[in-house]
A and B are shown apart, each in its own frame.
Chain A
C-alpha cells in the first residue's frame, strides 16, 4: 500500500488548503473549489456561474485576456473549469516546476479579476451558443432535464441557464454576483503530487492571502419536482434517463453498501444492466447506472439509449433490473464488486488530478481526508445483509424519468 502524506491548513480568510504529497510523480495537480456553483445563480441569474467562470479568464492581476491565457499556456498548464451544483471547480495540471507560478496566477484570477465591461458580451454569447447547441445533443439535454427534476431545488439547476436569463444579464449585475460569490470562505484549494509542504503552505498564504470575501447565506432548498417528462423530438435514438434516491455520502453505513450494489448493477460488462439489456437482448449500445451524491441529496442515475421500436422493451427490462436488485446480490457479485471498487480506487489514484478532486470531495462531504486504507477497509466490511438493508431503505420506487425521442413511452413501471 502506498504511504500517504496529507496536509491541511485553514487560513484566516476562510480558505482551506488540502494537500497530498506524492514523491514518485513529477506532476502537481490543483483543484480550487469555490462555492459559486449554479445552485447559487437563482432563476433571474440562471447561468451566471458559467458566464462568470468564462469571464474570469478574460484578464486578472494586470494581465489582459491574452496575456493571462498565454502565461498559463507557457507554463504547460492544462486547465479545465467545471461549474457544478455547489462549487465551481478550477482544475490545473502541470509539472511540479510550474506549480508556484500557476498558483500565483489563480490567486490573481480569484482575488484580482478584471471583469471588464468590454469582455462580458462574448462570454455571455459563448454560453448562449452552448445552450442553443443542447438541441443538437439529445443525450446531454435529457440528462440536464433529469437533474433538474430529481434534485431538491435549486440543486439540479442547469449550468447553462435559460435564453431569457442570459439575455437579461448585464455586466454590472454579474460583477456584483461575482464579488459576493467568489469568496475564500468555504473555498478549498487541493494540491496533489510533488511539492514541499512548508513552502507550498507559505506560497499559498502569500498569493491567496489578499483574497477577501464574506460567508454565503445558507442555501434554502425546496422540494424536488420529480415525476416524468417526455419530450418529443425526431432523433434516431430515444434517450431514457432515470433516477431514484440513494444514501448520501456521509451516511457511511449505507453509502458503501450502495456503491457495492451499484457495481452489481453496472460495474463493468458483467453488471446486470449490461448483461440483461445489451448482451442477452441486443437492445442498446449504451446502458448503465452511476451513483451521484451531494451533501443534501443523492441518487442512482440510470441511462439507456435505443431506437424507437426497442424503447419500451428497453425501459421495461431496465426498470425490472432496478427492482430485482432490491432482492439483494449473490456472494459472487459481492466479491467482484469489492475487487472492482478497490482496484478503481488505486488505479484512479495514479492520476494526480483525480487525487486532488478526491481531497476536495472528502473535505466537503465528510470534513476529513480518507486514506486508501480507510476506504478499502470500509469496502471490505460490507456484507450481503448490509446491501439488502440499504436497498430496502432506498428501493427503486417513485423513479424520476426523462425521455427524449420520436415517441412517448408507457412509464407505469416507474412507480
Chain B
C-alpha cells in the first residue's frame, strides 16, 4: 500500500492509499463540519445541505447528478454526523475521471429555491421515519441530555420546527462559512491513478476560494442525569448510558475501543454473558465513540419493561467489577483478535479503507497503514484498558430510559 499526499494552492488536501490489486476505487470528499458547528438558529442545516449537494450545480440539474452517478455504475451516498459530512462513491477504475469531476462539481451546489422547497419535505419525512425508531430516539436523547448546552448535543436531523424555519439564505451562509477548501479533504483508496487524480481534483476544485473556518472546542459538561421518557405506544423498554471516553486524538483510543469490545460486543463480552445469554435483555452494546477533542462511551440495551431496573443494576455492577478487578489476558486477546480481523476484512474493500484513511486524516492529520494500526492496537496492555475504565469512570454517566414504564 502506498500513501500519497498533495495540497492545492487554495489549501485543499488530497490524499490516497493505492491498492493496485483492488477491483474498484473509491473517492470521498470529507468536510470537517456537522451539527456541532451549527448555530442555534440553523439546527439541521448540515444534514439538509448534504441532501442539497445532490440537487445540481451551474453545469448540472439534480436529475443530471443522479443519472451520471448511475451511468458510472457507482455505489455512492453521503452521510452527516455531529462532526463530519462525507460524500463518497466507488466505481470501477475506468470511471475515476468522471467520478472526480462529478463529486468535485456537486460540492459547489446551486442551492436553487425550488429544489430547496421540495427537499425540505424529504427531510421532514426523514425526521418522521426516525420517530418510529425507538433506538434512534434513545440515542438522540442521550446525546441531548449528556451534552446539554454543548454543541455536540445538537440533533443531526434538526427538529420539525427548525427545518420548517430554515431558509435557503441561512444554508448558503453556512455553506460559505464551512465548505472552504481548507476545511475539506479529498480522499481516495483502491486501484487508482494518483497523478491523474491530482490533475482531476485540480481541474475541479482549484477555483474554490478559501475562507477562515474554525470549530468551537468546549469542555463536555459530563453530566450525570437520569431521565425517563414514558411512551405508552411502545412495548419494549430502551435504556442507555453515556459517559466520557478519550478523544479521537488521544493515544488511549485503542484501549477504549478494546474496553468497549470487552464489555459489550455482541458475541462473547461481559454484558453479553451477564445479560443476553440468560435472556435478561434482548440485546446490549457498549461502543466507544471517539470525537474531535473528546469522546464518549455509550451503552444501549432493549429489555422487557419489567426487567429494566434489574438490567441496569447488572450493567452498573459489571462496570464496577471491571474497574475494581481489571480484565483477564484471554478476554483482552479475544477482543484484540476480533478487532484486528474486522479491520482486515474491511480493509479488503476500497470503501472500507476510504473511511479509515479519511477519518485518520480528518481527526489527526496522520496516515496510519492498516498493519501499523493493528500493531498499535495489539500493543495495548490490560492495565491500559483498566486505566481508561477508571480514569473516565464508567459509572459516571447520564442514563436515559424510553418505553412504556417510568424508571426513575
Give the interface of A toward B (CB within 8 A). 2, 24-27, 65-66, 69-70, 72-79, 93-95, 98, 121-123, 125-126, 129-130, 132-133, 135-139, 234-237, 267-271, 274-275, 278-286, 305-307, 310, 335-336, 339-344, 346-347, 349-353
Residues of A within 8 A of B279 (CB): 121-123, 125-126, 129
CB distance from B110 to the nearest CB of A (A): 15
Contact call B278/A122, Cβ cutoff below 8 A: yes
CB distance from A3 to the nearest CB of B (A): 12
Residues of B within 8 A of A282 (CB): 118-122, 125
Q: Decide yes or no: A65 and B348 within 8 Å by CB, A74-B337, A350-B22, A350-B24 being known contacts.
A: no
- A69–B125 Cα gap in the complex (Å)? 41
Contact call B338/A78, Cβ cutoff below 8 A: yes
Contact call B337/A236, Cβ cutoff below 8 A: no
Q: State whether the Cβ of B211 lies closer than 8 Å to any Cβ in chain A.
A: no
Q: State whether the Cβ of B21 lies closer than 8 Å to any Cβ in chain A.
A: yes
Other A-B pairs beyond A341-B73, A347-B23, A351-B345, 15, CB < 8 Å: A66-B268, A73-B338, A135-B234, A136-B236, A234-B233, A236-B132, A268-B70, A270-B67, A274-B66, A280-B118, A285-B128, A286-B125, A346-B24, A351-B348, A353-B345
Q: Decide yes or no: A283 and B121 within 8 Å by CB, A27-B348, A133-B236, A347-B23 being known contacts.
A: yes
- A121–B279 Cα gap in the complex (Å)? 8
Q: Decide yes or no: A347 and B341 within 8 Å by CB, A27-B348, A136-B236 being known contacts.
A: no
Q: State whether the Cβ of B218 lies closer than 8 Å to any Cβ in chain A.
A: no
In chain B, positions 342-387 with a C-beta closer than 8 Å to chain A are: 342, 344-345, 348-350
Q: Identify the closest chain B residue to A126 (Cβ).
A: B279
In the complex, number of A-B residue pairs with CB atoms less than 8 Å apart: 189
Residues of A within 8 A of B350 (CB): 350
- A392–B156 Cα gap in the complex (Å)? 45
From A133, A307, A350, B302 is in contact (CB under 8 Å) with A133
Contact call B73/A342, Cβ cutoff below 8 A: yes
From A24, A73, A274, A350, B334 is in contact (CB under 8 Å) with A73
Contact call B268/A95, Cβ cutoff below 8 A: no
Contact call A275/B63, Cβ cutoff below 8 A: yes
Give the interface of B toward A (CB within 8 A). 21-24, 54, 62-63, 65-67, 69-76, 90-92, 118-126, 128-129, 131-134, 233-236, 265, 267-268, 272-273, 276-279, 281-282, 302, 304, 330, 333-335, 337-338, 340-342, 344-345, 348-350
From B92, B126, B276, B342, A346 is in contact (CB under 8 Å) with B92
- A343–B277 Cα gap in the complex (Å)? 41
Contact call A340/B235, Cβ cutoff below 8 A: no
CB distance from A17 to the nearest CB of B (A): 22
From A93, A133, A280, B235 is in contact (CB under 8 Å) with A133
Contact call B69/A268, Cβ cutoff below 8 A: yes
Q: Decide yes or no: A138 and B132 within 8 Å by CB, A70-B334, A339-B72 being known contacts.
A: yes
- A159–B79 Cα gap in the complex (Å)? 32
From A130, A234, A237, A339, B125 is in contact (CB under 8 Å) with A237
Residues of A within 8 A of B338 (CB): 73, 76, 78
Residues of A within 8 A of B344 (CB): 26-27, 95
CB distance from B53 to the nearest CB of A (A): 12
CB distance from A372 to the nearest CB of B (A): 10
Q: Identify the closest chain B residue to A235 (Cβ).
A: B132
- A79–B268 Cα gap in the complex (Å)? 11
Contact call B125/A285, Cβ cutoff below 8 A: yes
Of the candidates A24, A283, A347, the one having the most CB atoms from chain B within 10 angstroms of its own CB is A347
Residues of A within 8 A of B128 (CB): 236-237, 285, 306-307
Contact call A347/B24, Cβ cutoff below 8 A: yes
Contact call A285/B22, Cβ cutoff below 8 A: no
Residues of A within 8 A of B54 (CB): 269
Residues of B within 8 A of A139 (CB): 132
- A335–B68 Cα gap in the complex (Å)? 12
Q: Identify the closest chain B residue to A351 (Cβ).
A: B349
- A351–B118 Cα gap in the complex (Å)? 37
- A307–B121 Cα gap in the complex (Å)? 10
Residues of B within 8 A of A135 (CB): 234-236
Residues of B within 8 A of A343 (CB): 24, 72-75, 91-92
Contact call B66/A275, Cβ cutoff below 8 A: yes
- A129–B121 Cα gap in the complex (Å)? 35
CB distance from B26 to the nearest CB of A (A): 9
Contact call A129/B282, Cβ cutoff below 8 A: yes
- A69–B91 Cα gap in the complex (Å)? 38
A-B contact pairs, 29 of them (CB 8 A): A27-B345, A27-B348, A69-B267, A70-B330, A75-B337, A76-B337, A76-B342, A79-B267, A95-B344, A121-B279, A122-B277, A122-B278, A237-B125, A269-B70, A270-B63, A275-B63, A279-B66, A282-B120, A282-B121, A283-B121, A284-B122, A286-B125, A305-B125, A307-B124, A343-B24, A346-B23, A347-B90, A350-B22, A350-B349
- A45–B65 Cα gap in the complex (Å)? 51
Q: Identify the closest chain A residue to B120 (Cβ).
A: A282
CB distance from B92 to the nearest CB of A (A): 6
Q: Decide yes or no: A279 and B63 within 8 Å by CB, A73-B267, A236-B129, A284-B125 being known contacts.
A: yes
- A129–B284 Cα gap in the complex (Å)? 13
Q: Identify the closest chain B residue to A22 (Cβ).
A: B348
- A94–B128 Cα gap in the complex (Å)? 39
Residues of A within 8 A of B120 (CB): 282
Residues of A within 8 A of B133 (CB): 137
- A269–B66 Cα gap in the complex (Å)? 5
- A305–B122 Cα gap in the complex (Å)? 11
Q: Identify the closest chain A residue to B276 (Cβ).
A: A126
CB distance from A302 to the nearest CB of B (A): 17
CB distance from A55 to the nearest CB of B (A): 12
